[in-house]
Protein backbone atom coordinates (compact mmCIF):
# COMPACT_ATOMS: atom_id res chain seq x y z
CA UNK A 1 0.00 0.00 0.00
CA UNK A 2 2.91 2.32 0.52
CA UNK A 3 3.46 2.87 -3.15
CA UNK A 4 -0.20 3.71 -3.80
CA UNK A 5 -0.09 5.97 -0.79
CA UNK A 6 2.80 7.93 -2.23
CA UNK A 7 1.18 8.08 -5.66
CA UNK A 8 -1.84 9.65 -3.95
CA UNK A 9 0.46 12.29 -2.51
CA UNK A 10 2.12 13.04 -5.83
CA UNK A 11 -1.27 13.39 -7.50
CA UNK A 12 -2.72 15.31 -4.57
CA UNK A 13 -4.94 17.47 -6.70
CA UNK A 14 -6.66 14.45 -8.25
CA UNK A 15 -9.74 13.01 -6.59
CA UNK A 16 -8.40 9.45 -6.66
CA UNK A 17 -5.01 7.85 -7.04
CA UNK A 18 -5.33 7.24 -10.77
CA UNK A 19 -7.90 9.87 -11.60
CA UNK A 20 -10.90 8.93 -13.77
CA UNK A 21 -11.24 5.26 -14.69
CA UNK A 22 -8.91 4.49 -17.57
CA UNK A 23 -8.17 1.36 -19.55
CA UNK A 24 -4.96 -0.38 -18.52
CA UNK A 25 -3.50 0.17 -21.98
CA UNK A 26 -3.99 3.93 -21.63
CA UNK A 27 -2.52 4.28 -18.14
CA UNK A 28 1.16 3.96 -19.18
CA UNK A 29 0.66 6.67 -21.81
CA UNK A 30 -1.15 8.94 -19.34
CA UNK A 31 1.52 8.42 -16.69
CA UNK A 32 4.33 9.02 -19.18
CA UNK A 33 2.62 12.21 -20.28
CA UNK A 34 2.33 13.42 -16.68
CA UNK A 35 5.96 12.59 -15.98
CA UNK A 36 7.09 14.56 -19.04
CA UNK A 37 5.74 17.86 -17.74
CA UNK A 38 8.39 20.47 -17.06
CA UNK A 39 8.41 20.36 -13.28
CA UNK A 40 11.57 21.27 -11.33
CA UNK A 41 13.21 18.10 -10.07
CA UNK A 42 16.02 17.20 -7.72
CA UNK A 43 19.17 16.61 -9.73
CA UNK A 44 20.61 13.26 -8.66
CA UNK A 45 23.84 11.66 -9.74
CA UNK A 46 23.79 8.18 -11.25
CA UNK A 47 26.47 5.80 -12.44
CA UNK A 48 24.16 3.77 -14.68
CA UNK A 49 22.09 4.75 -17.76
CA UNK A 50 19.29 2.37 -16.75
CA UNK A 51 19.10 3.99 -13.31
CA UNK A 52 19.04 7.41 -15.00
CA UNK A 53 16.05 6.38 -17.12
CA UNK A 54 14.22 4.96 -14.09
CA UNK A 55 14.67 8.21 -12.17
CA UNK A 56 13.61 10.27 -15.18
CA UNK A 57 10.36 8.29 -15.39
CA UNK A 58 9.38 9.31 -11.82
CA UNK A 59 11.63 12.25 -10.87
CA UNK A 60 11.79 13.63 -7.35
CA UNK A 61 10.00 16.97 -7.65
CA UNK A 62 11.16 20.11 -5.91
CA UNK A 63 8.53 22.22 -4.16
CA UNK A 64 8.80 25.38 -2.08
CA UNK A 65 8.63 24.82 1.66
CA UNK A 66 5.02 24.41 2.66
CA UNK A 67 3.03 23.38 5.74
CA UNK A 68 1.05 20.34 6.76
CA UNK A 69 -2.00 22.60 6.85
CA UNK A 70 -1.52 23.61 3.21
CA UNK A 71 -0.87 20.01 2.20
CA UNK A 72 -4.19 18.89 3.69
CA UNK A 73 -5.95 21.78 1.99
CA UNK A 74 -4.57 20.71 -1.40
CA UNK A 75 -5.85 17.18 -0.84
CA UNK A 76 -9.27 18.41 0.34
CA UNK A 77 -8.84 16.86 3.78
CA UNK A 78 -10.43 18.68 6.67
CA UNK A 79 -12.02 18.39 10.09
CA UNK A 80 -13.22 21.09 12.47
CA UNK A 81 -11.03 19.43 15.09
CA UNK A 82 -7.83 19.46 13.01
CA UNK A 83 -6.91 23.13 12.83
CA UNK A 84 -3.31 23.87 13.81
CA UNK A 85 -0.03 22.88 12.20
CA UNK A 86 0.56 20.49 15.11
CA UNK A 87 -2.82 18.84 14.50
CA UNK A 88 -2.16 18.43 10.78
CA UNK A 89 1.31 17.01 11.38
CA UNK A 90 -0.23 14.45 13.72
CA UNK A 91 -2.81 13.58 11.07
CA UNK A 92 0.02 13.15 8.55
CA UNK A 93 1.90 10.68 10.74
CA UNK A 94 -1.26 8.79 11.65
CA UNK A 95 -2.07 8.57 7.95
CA UNK A 96 1.28 6.87 7.34
CA UNK A 97 0.63 4.42 10.18
CA UNK A 98 -2.86 3.69 8.83
CA UNK A 99 -1.60 2.74 5.37
CA UNK A 100 -1.90 -0.99 5.93
CA UNK A 101 -4.25 -3.28 4.02
CA UNK A 102 -6.73 -0.52 3.17
CA UNK A 103 -7.00 1.90 0.26
CA UNK A 104 -4.63 4.83 0.37
CA UNK A 105 -7.42 7.39 0.28
CA UNK A 106 -9.08 5.81 3.30
CA UNK A 107 -5.79 5.68 5.21
CA UNK A 108 -5.14 9.36 4.59
CA UNK A 109 -8.67 10.36 5.56
CA UNK A 110 -8.74 8.17 8.70
CA UNK A 111 -7.07 10.63 11.15
CA UNK A 112 -9.50 13.38 10.16
CA UNK A 113 -12.50 11.09 10.68
CA UNK A 114 -11.07 9.93 14.02
CA UNK A 115 -10.67 13.54 15.17
CA UNK A 116 -14.42 14.06 14.67
CA UNK A 117 -15.13 11.14 16.98
CA UNK A 118 -12.58 12.22 19.57
CA UNK A 119 -13.38 15.90 19.04
CA UNK A 120 -9.63 16.54 19.05
CA UNK A 121 -6.34 15.19 17.67
CA UNK A 122 -4.01 16.20 20.48
CA UNK A 123 -1.18 13.73 21.06
CA UNK A 124 -1.07 14.37 24.79
CA UNK A 125 -4.74 13.45 25.14
CA UNK A 126 -4.44 10.45 22.83
CA UNK A 127 -1.39 9.24 24.75
CA UNK A 128 -3.53 9.06 27.89
CA UNK A 129 -6.29 6.96 26.30
CA UNK A 130 -6.62 3.22 26.84
CA UNK A 131 -6.36 0.96 23.77
CA UNK A 132 -9.90 -0.31 24.38
CA UNK A 133 -11.37 3.19 24.49
CA UNK A 134 -9.62 4.27 21.30
CA UNK A 135 -10.54 1.05 19.54
CA UNK A 136 -14.22 1.74 20.28
CA UNK A 137 -13.90 5.14 18.64
CA UNK A 138 -12.30 3.52 15.59
CA UNK A 139 -15.07 0.93 15.32
CA UNK A 140 -18.22 2.99 15.79
CA UNK A 141 -20.40 4.22 14.27
CA UNK A 142 -18.57 2.68 11.26
CA UNK A 143 -15.23 0.91 11.14
CA UNK A 144 -12.35 3.15 10.08
CA UNK A 145 -9.83 0.36 9.50
CA UNK A 146 -9.57 -3.39 8.99
CA UNK A 147 -7.37 -3.64 12.08
CA UNK A 148 -8.86 -1.23 14.58
CA UNK A 149 -7.28 -2.84 17.64
CA UNK A 150 -3.82 -2.66 16.09
CA UNK A 151 -4.39 0.92 15.00
CA UNK A 152 -5.48 1.91 18.51
CA UNK A 153 -2.27 0.55 20.00
CA UNK A 154 -0.15 2.11 17.26
CA UNK A 155 -1.75 5.56 17.63
CA UNK A 156 -1.38 5.57 21.41
CA UNK A 157 2.24 4.39 21.35
CA UNK A 158 3.07 6.95 18.66
CA UNK A 159 1.47 9.71 20.75
CA UNK A 160 3.40 8.61 23.82
CA UNK A 161 6.63 8.65 21.81
CA UNK A 162 5.95 12.17 20.50
CA UNK A 163 5.12 13.43 23.99
CA UNK A 164 8.26 11.89 25.46
CA UNK A 165 10.79 12.82 22.80
CA UNK A 166 9.34 15.78 20.85
CA UNK A 167 7.53 17.93 23.38
CA UNK A 168 4.18 16.69 22.16
CA UNK A 169 4.56 17.91 18.57
CA UNK A 170 5.08 15.85 15.39
CA UNK A 171 6.28 19.10 13.79
CA UNK A 172 9.39 18.84 15.97
CA UNK A 173 9.95 15.31 14.71
CA UNK A 174 9.49 16.01 10.98
CA UNK A 175 11.49 19.22 10.93
CA UNK A 176 13.88 20.99 8.58
CA UNK A 177 17.44 19.71 8.84
CA UNK A 178 16.49 16.29 10.17
CA UNK A 179 19.00 13.51 9.47
CA UNK A 180 17.50 10.89 7.16
CA UNK A 181 19.24 7.96 8.80
CA UNK A 182 18.15 8.98 12.28
CA UNK A 183 14.58 9.65 11.18
CA UNK A 184 14.37 6.28 9.42
CA UNK A 185 15.37 4.51 12.62
CA UNK A 186 12.89 6.54 14.64
CA UNK A 187 9.99 5.99 12.24
CA UNK A 188 10.62 2.27 12.04
CA UNK A 189 10.67 2.03 15.84
CA UNK A 190 6.99 3.04 15.81
CA UNK A 191 4.40 0.29 15.66
CA UNK A 192 3.00 -0.13 12.15
CA UNK A 193 5.71 1.68 10.17
CA UNK A 194 7.79 -0.58 7.93
CA UNK A 195 10.94 0.35 6.02
CA UNK A 196 8.83 0.85 2.91
CA UNK A 197 6.59 3.34 4.71
CA UNK A 198 9.50 5.14 6.37
CA UNK A 199 11.31 5.51 3.04
CA UNK A 200 8.14 6.81 1.41
CA UNK A 201 7.64 9.27 4.28
CA UNK A 202 11.09 10.73 3.69
CA UNK A 203 10.35 11.14 0.00
CA UNK A 204 7.11 12.90 0.90
CA UNK A 205 8.94 15.32 3.19
CA UNK A 206 11.34 16.22 0.39
CA UNK A 207 9.05 16.29 -2.64
CA UNK A 208 5.69 17.34 -1.19
CA UNK A 209 6.53 19.51 1.81
CA UNK A 210 9.89 20.93 0.73
CA UNK A 211 11.44 19.93 4.06
CA UNK A 212 15.23 19.91 4.07
CA UNK A 213 16.41 16.39 4.90
CA UNK A 214 20.11 15.77 5.46
CA UNK A 215 21.95 12.55 4.58
CA UNK A 216 19.51 11.21 1.98
CA UNK A 217 22.18 8.67 1.10
CA UNK A 218 20.95 6.70 4.11
CA UNK A 219 17.54 6.06 2.54
CA UNK A 220 17.53 2.70 0.76
CA UNK A 221 15.16 1.75 -2.03
CA UNK A 222 11.99 0.03 -0.75
CA UNK A 223 12.05 -3.41 -2.36
CA UNK A 224 8.92 -5.20 -3.51
CA UNK A 225 8.28 -7.67 -6.34
CA UNK A 226 7.84 -4.92 -8.95
CA UNK A 227 11.06 -3.12 -8.06
CA UNK A 228 13.00 -6.39 -7.81
CA UNK A 229 11.63 -7.58 -11.18
CA UNK A 230 12.80 -4.41 -12.96
CA UNK A 231 16.24 -4.54 -11.34
CA UNK A 232 16.63 -8.21 -12.29
CA UNK A 233 15.35 -8.06 -15.85
CA UNK A 234 17.21 -4.85 -16.67
CA UNK A 235 20.48 -6.24 -15.44
CA UNK A 236 20.94 -3.88 -12.48
CA UNK A 237 21.23 -7.07 -10.43
CA UNK A 238 22.36 -10.47 -11.65
CA UNK A 239 20.43 -13.71 -11.41
CA UNK A 240 21.64 -17.29 -11.26
CA UNK A 241 22.44 -19.01 -14.58
CA UNK A 242 19.46 -21.01 -15.76
CA UNK A 243 17.15 -19.90 -12.98
CA UNK A 244 13.82 -18.38 -13.96
CA UNK A 245 11.79 -17.69 -10.80
CA UNK A 246 12.88 -15.64 -7.78
CA UNK A 247 11.28 -14.28 -4.64
CA UNK A 248 11.59 -10.59 -3.95
CA UNK A 249 12.99 -11.27 -0.48
CA UNK A 250 15.90 -13.18 -2.01
CA UNK A 251 16.87 -10.25 -4.21
CA UNK A 252 16.40 -7.54 -1.58
CA UNK A 253 20.09 -7.26 -0.50
CA UNK A 254 21.26 -7.15 -4.13
CA UNK A 255 18.66 -4.57 -5.13
CA UNK A 256 19.54 -2.32 -2.19
CA UNK A 257 23.26 -2.59 -3.01
CA UNK A 258 22.64 -1.87 -6.70
CA UNK A 259 20.52 1.19 -5.91
CA UNK A 260 23.17 2.53 -3.54
CA UNK A 261 25.81 2.08 -6.24
CA UNK A 262 23.71 3.63 -9.01
CA UNK A 263 22.37 6.59 -6.99
CA UNK A 264 24.69 7.07 -4.02
CA UNK A 265 23.31 10.49 -3.05
CA UNK A 266 19.72 9.20 -2.69
CA UNK A 267 19.23 5.46 -3.38
CA UNK A 268 15.47 5.68 -2.77
CA UNK A 269 15.14 7.96 -5.79
CA UNK A 270 14.92 4.77 -7.87
CA UNK A 271 11.96 3.52 -5.87
CA UNK A 272 8.91 5.00 -7.57
CA UNK A 273 10.22 4.76 -11.11
CA UNK A 274 11.11 1.09 -10.76
CA UNK A 275 7.80 0.35 -9.07
CA UNK A 276 5.63 1.90 -11.78
CA UNK A 277 7.72 0.50 -14.63
CA UNK A 278 7.40 -2.94 -13.03
CA UNK A 279 3.68 -2.57 -12.43
CA UNK A 280 2.74 -1.09 -15.81
CA UNK A 281 5.32 -2.34 -18.32
CA UNK A 282 7.73 -4.97 -16.96
CA UNK A 283 4.86 -7.08 -15.65
CA UNK A 284 4.84 -10.66 -14.37
CA UNK A 285 3.83 -12.11 -17.74
CA UNK A 286 3.59 -10.63 -21.23
CA UNK A 287 5.73 -7.56 -20.47
CA UNK A 288 5.21 -4.53 -22.70
CA UNK A 289 8.85 -4.31 -23.72
CA UNK A 290 8.24 -2.20 -26.82
CA UNK A 291 6.35 0.41 -24.77
CA UNK A 292 8.64 0.33 -21.73
CA UNK A 293 10.59 3.55 -21.02
CA UNK A 294 13.69 1.39 -20.52
CA UNK A 295 13.49 -0.22 -23.96
CA UNK A 296 16.42 1.75 -25.42
CA UNK A 297 18.80 0.94 -22.55
CA UNK A 298 17.60 -2.39 -21.15
CA UNK A 299 19.92 -5.23 -22.25
CA UNK A 300 17.22 -7.84 -21.55
CA UNK A 301 14.35 -6.44 -23.60
CA UNK A 302 13.84 -9.68 -25.51
CA UNK A 303 10.24 -10.65 -24.85
CA UNK A 304 10.88 -14.40 -24.61
CA UNK A 305 13.54 -13.89 -21.92
CA UNK A 306 11.49 -11.38 -19.94
CA UNK A 307 8.44 -13.64 -19.79
CA UNK A 308 10.47 -16.52 -18.41
CA UNK A 309 12.30 -14.65 -15.65
CA UNK A 310 10.10 -13.21 -12.97
CA UNK A 311 9.90 -12.20 -9.33
CA UNK A 312 7.10 -12.79 -6.86
CA UNK A 313 6.38 -12.81 -3.16
CA UNK A 314 6.29 -10.16 -0.49
CA UNK A 315 9.22 -8.65 1.35
CA UNK A 316 8.97 -8.64 5.12
CA UNK A 317 10.09 -5.48 6.84
CA UNK A 318 13.18 -5.79 8.97
Average pLDDT on 147-151 reads 97
Q: Is residue 233 part of a domain?
A: yes
CA 314 to chain CA centroid, Å, is 16
CA 103 to chain CA centroid, Å, is 13
Asked if residues 188 and 97 have their Cβ atoms less than 8 Å apart, the reply is: no
239-284 pLDDT tens trace: 888 788 898 889 999 999 999 999 999 999 998 899 999 999 998 8
Q: What's the confidence (pLDDT) of residue 308?
A: 53
> Do 168 and 81 belong to one domain?
yes
Distance CA 47, CA 267 (A): 12
Q: Is residue 23 part of a domain?
A: no
Q: What's the confidence (pLDDT) of residue 243?
A: 83
Helices (H), 239-315: 248-262, 271-280, 303-308
Helices (H), the chain: 2-10, 27-35, 49-57, 68-74, 85-98, 104-118, 123-127, 131-139, 148-165, 170-173, 180-188, 195-207, 225-234, 248-262, 271-280, 303-308
9-68 pLDDT tens trace: 445 433 333 333 333 434 444 444 444 444 444 545 567 899 999 999 988 777 899 999
Distance CA 120, CA 114 (A): 8
In three-state secondary structure terms, 92 is helix
The total number of structural domains that make up the chain: 2
Q: Is residue 293 part of a domain?
A: yes
Domain of residue 261, residue span: 28-63+219-312
Percent of the chain with pLDDT over 90: 58
Q: Answer yes or no: pTM beyond 0.85.
A: no
> Do 116 and 51 belong to one domain?
no
Q: Is residue 21 part of a domain?
A: no
Q: Report the CATH number at residue 293.
A: 1.10.1670.10
Asked if residues 103 and 122 have their Cβ atoms less than 8 Å apart, the reply is: no
Q: How high is the mean pLDDT of the chain?
A: 84
> Do 168 and 248 belong to one domain?
no
Distance CA 125, CA 256 (A): 40
Which range (82-86, 180-184, 221-225, 242-246) has the least confidence?
Answer: 242-246
Q: What's the confidence (pLDDT) of residue 41?
A: 47
Distance CA 234, CA 6 (A): 24
Q: Which residue has the higher pLDDT, 100 or 153?
A: 153
110-132 pLDDT tens trace: 999 999 999 999 999 999 999 99
Amino acid sequence: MAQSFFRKLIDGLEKTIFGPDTDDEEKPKRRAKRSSKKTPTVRLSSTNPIADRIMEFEPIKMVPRTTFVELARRWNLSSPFVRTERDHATAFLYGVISDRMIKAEKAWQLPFELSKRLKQLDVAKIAALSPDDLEKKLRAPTSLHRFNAAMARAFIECAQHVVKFHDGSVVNMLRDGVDAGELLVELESLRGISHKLSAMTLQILVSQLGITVENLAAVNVAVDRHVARVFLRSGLVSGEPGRKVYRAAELKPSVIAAARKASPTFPAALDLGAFWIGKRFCVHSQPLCDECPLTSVCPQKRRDWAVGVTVGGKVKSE
